[in-house]
Amino acid sequence: MTAQYDGHESIATNEVEVTLSNVAPDAVMLISPGDGLEVSVDSTNLDEEVAFIWTAAVDNDNDPVEYFPSCLCRNGYWRYPMEHTS
């Protein structure tokens, strides 16, 4: 078995030691809307939008960061995944 390092290949060996690590990204901070916002949707405000704004997470491994915002609705959770790479 050999390993590739910066364009160079190691010598062949029968023994391998692998250490995998991942540093979790920093937490985001919700800027808007304020915590506990309640919105009632009816026929008069179906076209209105609520902006969700938060600080970006910093990933020390430079891995892509994926956000999963969710809202609590009367019939359960609504989830909408979106991907953000910084």
pTM metric for this prediction:
0.52
HSE of 24, CA atoms in CB hemisphere, 13 A: 3
Partners of 71 in beta bridges: 78
80 has pLDDT over 70: no
77 has pLDDT over 70: no
Residue 65 DSSP label = E
Does residue 53 sit within a domain?
A: yes
Does residue 17 sit within a domain?
A: no
Convert the pLDDT of each residue in 44-73 to its tens digit.
988 888 888 899 898 999 888 888 777 777
Place of tokens 């969710």: 70
Domain ranges, residue 55:
22-86
Does residue 4 sit within a domain?
A: no
Does residue 65 sit within a domain?
A: yes
- End-to-end alpha carbon distance in the chain: 35
Report how many domains make up the chain: 1
